[in-house]
Amino acid sequence: MPATSKTQLIELKTSEKVEIVDITEKVESLVKSSGVREGICVVSVPHATASVILNENEPGLLEDIVREINRLFPQEGTYMHNRIDDNASAHIAASFLGNSRIIPISGGRLIRGTWQSVLFVELDGPRERRTVAVTVMGE
């Protein structure tokens, strides 16, 4: 099979200001249907106030992460951006968490640890429509 690259979009809806949504199965199914056996998968969020991380989907840990995001990037504060908008904390949190992750593909599967799930992080919800771009490259 020749090298290919294909980008597909996952859409999701969020219901909290800060919320974590597990998108592992959706990403894995796109990798599977791509037919790529050896390559890379780029998971990217085209938003300024959302992020993607790889970590354990354990309910207590997800609560801990949300709490720490709120502690480190509090909504209340004297932010310059809030002169024109009301979500500076979300932009700052997204800048620090990052908007993409690269995951190797080998043997047709994502190479990820047992405790590494692909987690979308909403930082300025709730939102009716959020998008995640999944690019699968390889052969």
Six-digit token string for 120: 């979308």
Smallest distance from the beta carbon of 48 to Zn ion, in angstroms? 7
Binding test (CB under 5 A) with Zn ion, winner from 25, 85, 128, 139? 85
Smallest distance from the beta carbon of 47 to Zn ion, in angstroms? 11
Neighbours of 27 (CB within 10 A): 25
Query: CB-wise, 87 or 135, nearer to Zn ion?
Result: 87
**Do 91 and 24 contact (CB within 8 A), yes or no?**
no
Binding test (CB under 5 A) with Zn ion, winner from 14, 34, 87, 117? 87
Smallest distance from the beta carbon of 79 to Zn ion, in angstroms? 10
* Residue whose C-beta lies closest to Zn ion: 85
Smallest distance from the beta carbon of 81 to Zn ion, in angstroms? 6
Total interface residues for Zn ion by CB under 5 A: 2
Residues 6+ apart with CB under 8 A from 16: 122, 125, 126
Query: CB-wise, 110 or 122, nearer to Zn ion?
Result: 122
Q: Give the integer Cα–Cα distance in Å for 87 and 79.
A: 9
Residues 6+ apart with CB under 8 A from 51: 45, 93, 94, 97, 98, 99, 120, 121, 123
Region from 23-31, 63-71, 85-93, 110-118 binding Zn ion, contact rule CB under 5 A: 85-93
Smallest distance from the beta carbon of 97 to Zn ion, in angstroms? 16
Q: Give the integer Cα–Cα distance in Å for 27 and 58.
A: 19
List residues binding Zn ion (CB under 5 A): 85, 87
